[in-house]
Amino acid sequence: MLALILSTTSGASAFQVYGDIGAKWQALGGANGPLGDAMSDEADAAHGGRFNNFQYGFIYWLPRYGAHAVYGLIGELWNGMGRERGTCGYPTTDEYSFGADGRRSDFQHGKIIWKPGQTTAIATCGSYYQDDVIIRPSE
């Protein structure tokens, strides 16, 4: 794990962003990137994961998938769906280009896609966690 320790200020509070999450945040431009300033210290997430909140999104880390950023309209929808405990689970990719000017992020149990002209993203996810147990809808 990267031992880099970074901090940023948001108002009068300083937050630490470090390790794989810090490396991802720096690779995306740090405070000048799409996530903006850190809004929390790194904290525990469900199922052994870690996360930081940022002005405009999140970076989540799970050993199996590494650190991935979720932001913008995709991040808004994922947040509203319960983040890593919701139907999509943890992010498995960063946001990437999809189709004609669209954007997509992949998750443990599906994907969230945004296309130009849409005011929200669309999720296609098939299972979720409830009390730390994975629930898969019958097909």
CB atoms under 10 Å from CB of 100, counted, come to: 7
Report if pTM > 0.85: no
Is residue 6 very low, low, confident or very high in pLDDT (cuts 50, 70, 90)? low
- Residues 115-137 have a mean pLDDT of 73
For the stretch 25-48, pLDDT in tens is: 999 999 999 999 999 999 999 999
- What is the span of the domain harbouring residue 118? 5-135
pLDDT at position 90 is 97
Domain count, the chain: 1
Which of the pair, 5 or 11, is modelled with greater confidence? 11
DSSP structure string for 56-115: TEEEEEETTTEEEEEEHHHHHHHHHTTGGGSSS-SB-S--EEETTTEEEEEETTEEEEE-
pLDDT at position 133 is 57
For the stretch 96-123, pLDDT in tens is: 999 889 999 999 999 999 999 999 999 9
Least confident residue range of 10-14, 81-85, 98-102, 132-136:
132-136
Residues 6+ apart with CB under 8 A from 10: 37, 38, 39, 55
Encoded amino acid at 100, one letter = A
